[in-house]
Structure 1
Amino acid sequence: MHDAPPGDLFGFRLSVLARQWRRAVERHLARAGLTDASWAPLIHLHEAGDGIAQKELAARVGTDDSSLVRLLDILEGRALIERRIDDRDRRARLIHLTPAGREEVARLRRLLAQAEADLLADVSDAEVATMLAAFDRIAARLRGTEP
């Protein structure tokens, strides 16, 4: 297996590393008092912009609608998000960050930056830039092959 071309190892190693990275970030956030997965929807909501549909947010977070509903209930209870009726489809709800939600996202970004700095301590900025460029090319290919 060690003699395999790098392309034969890439997918497996990337998926293992992604799980390890996620666990390390979650441990870092847990030390800061964030013990549930509710931080991910906040970050995705901030990235997507206010007024995202619940179904689209679930897809971005990588969870099903019912699991996301529970997280959104928690976030709404903490006054970090609000659900608003979609003017185009009155049955749908659009998710928005509240001012407190924006403050929480800023705090999360600081904590995530600290975690990333720790995890990337042995990797140069140039190496990170190279990896990000490769990720972008892979993502573009994936978008082109999706049905």
Structure 2
Amino acid sequence: MTIETTKVDRENLLYRLGFLTRRWRQVLDSAFQSLGVTDAAWRPLLHLHHMGDGIRQKDLAASLGIEGPTLTRILDQLIVKRLIDRSEDASDRRAKLLALSPQGRAMVTQITAKVATLEHDLLSEFSDLEIDQMTLFVERLEKRLQETRSRLKG
């Protein structure tokens, strides 16, 4: 089936992308079970890894799209497992700073290795051109979504 012979279905595209994302997370959840981490655990670890140590807890919550109290419960579990460290912000004692512990860094290494393997497996049938086109499409879509969000807030 080619793009030229396929009817473009704009009405379902975003729904399908959302559904695809949920299914991808299910695959990741299954893969990470062997590491002993759940969706509630691996997502904050990866976000913290990408955002860098020393970020505020509220910034991590915003990145994950979850409420502060929900994140606090998750972080408490990650602290017990010694995967993250939480400290007070010297400039604002009410704020909490987060960092990956050495065990957390090791876990992120295992997680990212599994992700890389799964991504390679999933994307291996697509050409570099197709991947580049999809990447550009997603970047443009993200930009348009941000513009829409800003317009609706304003």
TM-score, normalising length from structure 1?
Answer: 0.86
In 1, Cα distance between the equivalents of 2:33 and 2:121? 15
Q: Secondary structure at the match of 1:37?
A: helix
Q: Secondary structure at the match of 1:84?
A: strand
In 2, Cα distance between the equivalents of 1:101 and 1:57? 16
Aligned to 1:56: 59
In 2, Cα distance between the equivalents of 1:134 and 1:32? 33
1:56-99 deviation per Cα after TM superposition (whole angstroms, max 9, x unaligned): 11121222222211111111112211111112211110111122
Question: Structure 1 runs of 4+ off > 6 angstroms?
Answer: none
Aligned to 1:43: 46
Between 1 and 2, higher relative CO (CA 8 Å, sep ≥ 6) is seen in: 1
Q: Secondary structure at the match of 1:122?
A: coil
Structure 2 residue identity aligned to 1:14: L
In 1, Cα distance between the equivalents of 2:81 and 2:43? 15
Q: 2:84 aligns with which of 72, 81, 84?
A: 81
More off after superposition, 131-140 vs 28-37? 28-37
Q: Which runs of 5+ in 2 are unaligned?
A: 1-5
2:68 paired with 1:65: yes
Aligned to 1:34: 37
- Report the alpha carbon displacement of residue 142 of structure 1 after superposing the two structures with TM: 2.5
- Report the alpha carbon displacement of residue 116 of structure 1 after superposing the two structures with TM: 1.8
Identity %: 40
Q: Which runs of 5+ in 1 are unaligned?
A: none
In 1, Cα distance between the equivalents of 2:22 and 2:39? 16
TM-score, normalising length from structure 2?
Answer: 0.83
Q: Secondary structure at the match of 1:5?
A: coil
More off after superposition, 15-24 vs 122-131? 122-131
Structure 2 residue identity aligned to 1:144: E
In 2, Cα distance between the equivalents of 1:72 and 1:21? 24
2:129 paired with 1:126: yes
Aligned to 2:106: 103
Kindly tell me the number of residue pairs found equivalent between the two proteins: 145
